[in-house]
Amino acid sequence: MSDYAWTPTPAYADAARVTRLMRAHGIDDYRELVRRSNDDPAWFWDAAVKDLGIEFFTPYARVYDDARGIAWTTWFDGGTVNLTYNCVDKQDPSARAIVWEGEDGAVRTLTFADLRREVDRVARGLLALGIGQGDRVAIQMPMVPENAIALYACAKIGAVVLPIFSGFAASAVATRLQDAGAVALVTADGFFRRGSVVPLKETADEAAAASPTVGHVIVFRRIGRDIPWTDGRDVEWDSLGPGEPLDAPALDPEHPLMIAYTSGTTGKPKGAVHVHGGFLVKIAEEAAYQTDLGPGDLLFWFTDMGWIMGPWELIGANANGAAVLFYEGAPDYPAPDRIWRIVERHRVTALGMSPTGIRALIPHGDEMARSRDLSSLRILASTGEPWNPDPWRWYFEIVGGGRCPIINLSGGTEVGACFLSPSVLTPLRPCTLGGPSLGMAIDVYDPDGKPMGPGEVGELVCTKPWPGMTRGIWNDPDRYIAAYWSRWPDVWVHGDWASTDADGFWYLHGRSDDTLKIAGKRLGPAEVESILVEHPAVAESAAVGVPDEVKGEKVWCFVVLRPGVAGDAALAATLRTMVADGLGKAFRPDAVRFVSALPKTRSAKILRRAVRAAALGEDPGDLSSLENPAALDEIRSTREEDSRSV
């Protein structure tokens, strides 16, 4: 009897976009495609460009050149390309490009013709302001179509985009503006979140005042509220133009597209540099072959354009002729079924949610999802962190009706895409990431840099270059090498714990810098957390390692309970016993502490390093991506409240 949760039907597999690629090259087995793509990246990426119809104005002479070392590989040498041309200009003008819904219920739809017209108008406006190739332009906007328009307008003229999370405070924005030397900041007067207005323009003013290179603040009127105005610096979005068509200039494939900032454990954020050719090709390939997006699809990934999944969903969908849905508000406001109503109303075909996002919606009940017509869905997707089995099955069965594969991606800001992913041709087991993404030479290494066998947990590494890899850390090449390439020669060390099973399925076990090492035994926090959430009282949890004189580290668990449940010593003892029974007595938590919330980013990632630092009274490092800082104050308070732990 098969233990697969999902297996593609012959009809499903026959219609998949990756099947078309396989047929063109005489490949019958998806696993053979994975093997060949990873063994021969030059063949694969050239084949993908041709199959997907990605247009280079000047054909490239060589797929890639790693003469300076894998860390500094260049791609599509000798060619010229423009990302905006491929994502906007060449697409069917009558097809949907962007669907938008505001938290206040407002809805807009832009065709590719509408998008092209607005992109060209804004691009001409930027040129009129003196902004051109190589200039850095920051975009801190809510999830409105103008956010995408600004990104495409910058890319079209060769300006470099700085996508910035809409919820950042002024100091976090200023850090990024200063690091990149941004000449302009595109923002909005504000946006809605949980029924309140978030006053974005004031944040932009404070950040710009601290950033001497910023000469222009361009303001989109989302709310229509009165805002402070600085004559000579501030520019109305609607005043940009004129709107005549603008031909996309031919750019070197290595021309910078974007500086995507990712938080470091200490010090300032890292600005990962992505380029026109490599980012376009990798994201288009991934959206087509892993998540099977194509014309007629509508992708809704609940994220922010300030995180890498924002550009991923926009470029991945549009480059393949599909549409993307933007939503500016909270996933459970004004009611817990908001996400499911959006899917039903707009007939979303592909939905992306983080495991934490799903776990947060489960306590509201199955009926919230069951009562909505979700039959338009054919793809479920996720990224950001490891799954636990029960939430995975809820997403698969309650949301997807057991008929939609969960395409579980894992990569990162610096990767530009994913290392690991199943495809629609892959039979699925709960929580799996399938295997290596196409064109990605992935392995699991032990501490000595040797490949590990099935069932063993080790470092996730990549041993060959890929088009979407960062071209370094902005203005800090030494930090780039130290962060990713310094442990073993010509090997990218990603910072994730991974393993495979006997059948070749891959799994993640959390960040390697979150790893628990108890009496010499390594343990991913997700393994502890998966056991804790099996208890019906537990909504979510975070497990961290803290110093111990005997074991080296001991486990502390911070637990969020379901509504109406009170935490006490008896429940804490029960949870400790569950972990000991599930993992062994050596891993019994030293403490279980009940809190009302865990510190998370806007994309719903739990910041375990911040949990640990707060619990120990240490400096948590860069917290610019943190959405709910009050959660850390509560964790700090548990140090004095021994009655809440056992």
The arithmetic mean of pLDDT across residues 567-585, rounded, is 90
Quickly state the pLDDT bin for 644 (edges 50, 70, 90).
very low
For the record, the structure tokens of 311 come out as: 């550009």
**Residue 508: pLDDT over 90:** no
**Residue 322: pLDDT over 50:** yes
Lowest mean pLDDT among 251-255, 395-399, 508-512: 508-512
pLDDT at 74: 98
Per cent of the chain over pLDDT 90 is: 76
pLDDT at 69: 94
**Mind listing the domains of the chain with CATH numbers?**
112-239 (3.40.50.980), 515-644 (3.30.300.30)
- pLDDT tens per residue across span 522-531: 677 877 898 8
- pLDDT tens per residue across span 516-560: 777 666 677 877 898 899 999 999 999 998 988 767 789 999 999
d(CA 409, CA 353): 11
d(CA 559, CA 563): 13
pLDDT at 641: 57
**Residue 645: pLDDT over 70:** no
- pLDDT tens per residue across span 46-100: 999 999 999 999 999 999 999 999 999 999 999 999 999 999 999 999 999 999 9
- pLDDT tens per residue across span 200-256: 999 999 999 999 999 999 999 999 999 999 999 999 999 998 878 999 999 999 999
- pLDDT tens per residue across span 607-630: 888 898 899 988 877 677 788 888
Q: How many CB atoms lie within 10 A of CB 581?
A: 11
At residue 506, what is the residue type?
W
At residue 164, what is the residue type?
I
Quickly state the pLDDT bin for 9 (edges 50, 70, 90).
very high
Q: Tokens 């809510």 appear where?
A: 142
pLDDT at 492: 96
pLDDT at 522: 64
- The SS3 of residue 508 is strand
Per cent of the chain over pLDDT 70 is: 96
For the record, the structure tokens of 581 come out as: 């029974």
Q: Report long-range pairs for 109-118 (Cβ below 8 Å, ≥24 apart).
A: 110/145, 112/88, 112/318, 115/88, 115/145, 115/148, 115/149, 115/152, 116/88, 116/89, 116/245, 117/243, 118/145, 118/146, 118/149, 118/243
pLDDT at 266: 44
- pLDDT tens per residue across span 113-142: 999 999 999 999 999 999 999 999 999 999
Return the percent helix, strand and coil in the chain, to nearest 5. 35, 25, 40
**Residue 143: pLDDT over 80:** yes
The arithmetic mean of pLDDT across residues 183-210, rounded, is 96
d(CA 548, CA 516): 12
